[in-house]
Amino acid sequence: MGKKDKCDSSYPNCEGIVIEYMDTTNKKKVLMMGDVNYASFNKARSTNKDTLFAYTQIDYLIAPHHGSEHTAFEQITDYGRIVNKGTMAIICCTNECADNRPNDNHRKELEKRFDDNVYTTEEAQPKNNSIKIIL
């Protein structure tokens, strides 16, 4: 994704990859962020406001960096204003807040955009080591 942003604590995270999957039949989008923060996503996309994270239609999100605070999570929404609602966000971590993962404020910002449908991989059902997203 490129340049290190002030929210990012390490340069290796700047070399992450974001995978975007679009089901063209149902017009549903899945975004898997890996360790790329929201600010770097915005820098890589463009300076056009319509392509920024807050304005991008995302139905299912795999949140970056295990839901940590080092993600510029305030950019999930447009300064608290919800532009596009999503269906579900998943944070890849346990329910134990070890190393501030998931970060409470990051999760709250996700809950605004995804109508409280935000889960850690530990709490997401079913408990068969996979989460199925139906597009």
Percent of the chain at pLDDT exceeding 70: 75
Average pLDDT, rounded, for the chain: 81
Percent of the chain at pLDDT exceeding 90: 30
- Which residue in the block uniquely carries the two structure tokens 């319509």? 50
Give the model's confidence band at 87: pLDDT under 50 very low, under 70 low, under 90 confident, else very high.
very high
Q: What is the pLDDT of residues 10-65, one digit of tens each?
A: 666 666 788 889 988 888 999 999 888 888 888 887 667 778 899 999 999 999 98
Average pLDDT on 99-125 reads 85
- Which residue in the block uniquely carries the two structure tokens 């949140």? 63
Give the model's confidence band at 106: pLDDT under 50 very low, under 70 low, under 90 confident, else very high.
very high
- Give every strand in the sheet of 60-62, ordered side by side: 19-23, 28-32, 60-62, 88-91, 118-120
Amino acid 27: pLDDT: 87
Closest by Cα among 36, 29, 33 to 15: 36
